[in-house]
Amino acid sequence: MLNEVDLSKYEKITAKTIPTEKGISSGHRACQGCVEILAMGMVMKAVGRNVIVANATGCMEIVTSPFPQTAWNVPWMHVAFENTSAVASGIEAALKIREKHGKLKGERPKVLAFGGDGATADIGLQALSGALERGHDFTYVCLDNEAYMNTGIQRSSSTPYGAMTTTSPPGSNSIGQSTWKKNVPAIAAAHNIPYVATASPGNYLDLMNKVRKAIAIDGPAYIHIYAVCPTGWGIKSEKGIELSKLAVKTNVFPLYEVIGGKYILKENKNPKPVVDYLKIQRRFRHLSETDVEYIQKRVDAEYAHLAAMASCAAPEEEENDE
C-alpha cells in the first residue's frame, strides 16, 4: 500500500525567490571548483537557519571545520562515519521530548544529516537503515562524489563501473572499478519512507525544491545528490556544473522522486550518448569502445526500469475496492 504524504507545509522556491542567506561561510578549505560544497551550500540555503546538522566524516567535514575555526553558521556536529543517522535520530528524539515538556522555545529546528557516498553506501548504511525504519523526522542528504576523495580517491561501493581510482587501477587484467554503482536511493525507497529523491546541483532550483519538500514532510526523507569532484574525477575546475548537467542529460544520473512509494521521473526525451559524459573525465579515459557500449546498454536499461516504475500510477481504484 502506498503512503499518504502531507506536502501542505512545502514552500516552493522560484527563480526570483532563491534565498541568499549563507549557512556555510566563505573561507572554507574545499578544492577549487568543488561541486560538493556548492551542493551543500544550496541545501543550506533551502533549509534556512533553524536547523541542527550532523555531519559524517569526509571531505565536507574536513574542509568546513579546520580547528579552531568553522565555516558553519548553524549548530553543527561532526560524527563518525558509522553513526551519522544514529546521532541525527538522537537529536530529533531530544528535540521532541524537550518540546513535549515545554522547554523548547520557538519552532522545532529541522534535523539534517550529511554523509558522503562512503558514509552512506558503505560504512553508515546500517545506521541509516535503522533511522529510516524507526521513522525519525529528519532529512538525510548523501553527497555522492563516487569515491573516498578525502583520503586520496579510494573506491567505494558507489564508484561507477570502469572508473579509475587508486584502489581500482586499470591495467591489462583490470578495467578499473569492476562492479556497478550501488543503488542507494532504491535501498532508501525500499524502507517505504515518505520521501526519496535524487538531485543534481546543475538543476539547482529542482535541488532546492526537493530539499524544501524533504524538510516539509513529517518523517524521514532521503536525498541523493550527485556531487562532481574535479580533483578525483580528472576534470578542469570550471567544468563541474557542466558535468552535473551532462550526467542528467545522458541518463547516467536520472532525476526522480519517490513520494509515498510513488515514482515521479523527470523525463529526458532526447538523451545524449553516454560517451559524451565519459570522454571528458580522466577516470574513464582507459575505457575501450566495447566497454562504453556495455555502459550505454546498462544505463539505458536502468532508465527504462525507472520509467516503468514511474508509469505505474498509484492504484487508487484498487485501494477503493478494498
**Contacting positions for another protein (CB under 8 A):** 18, 20, 22, 24-30, 32-35, 37-38, 41-42, 64-74, 201, 204, 230, 236-242
> If you write DSSP's letter for every residue of 154-200 in order, what string do you get?
B--TTSPTT--BTTB--BTTB-SS-SPPP-HHHHHHTTT-SEEEEE-
Minimal distance, residue 27 CB to another protein, in Å: 4
- The conformation of residue 238, written as its DSSP 8-state character, comes to G
Name which of 208 and 299 has its Cβ closer to another protein. 208
Are 150 and 62 spatial neighbours (Cβ–Cβ below 8 Å)? yes
Minimal distance, residue 218 CB to another protein, in Å: 29
Name which of 241 and 275 has its Cβ closer to another protein. 241
Q: How many CA atoms lie within 13 A of 43 on its CB side?
A: 33
Are 175 and 238 spatial neighbours (Cβ–Cβ below 8 Å)? no
Minimal distance, residue 136 CB to another protein, in Å: 24
Minimal distance, residue 74 CB to another protein, in Å: 7
Name which of 121 and 235 has its Cβ closer to another protein. 235
CA 104, CA 296: separation in Å to the nearest integer? Answer: 53
Name which of 35 and 79 has its Cβ closer to another protein. 35
Name which of 33 and 260 has its Cβ closer to another protein. 33
> If you write DSSP's letter for every residue of 239-288 in order, what string do you get?
GHHHHHHHHHHTTSS--EEEETTEEEE---SSPPPHHHHHHT-GGGTT--
- The conformation of residue 31, written as its DSSP 8-state character, comes to P
Minimal distance, residue 239 CB to another protein, in Å: 7
What's the burial of 49, exposed, middle or buried (CB within 10 Å: 0-12/13-18/19+)? middle
Name which of 194 and 201 has its Cβ closer to another protein. 201
Minimal distance, residue 206 CB to another protein, in Å: 12
- Residue 163 C-alpha cell reads as 572508473
CA 194, CA 261: separation in Å to the nearest integer? Answer: 7
Name which of 32 and 167 has its Cβ closer to another protein. 32
Minimal distance, residue 205 CB to another protein, in Å: 9
Pairing of strands 195-199, 262-265: unpaired
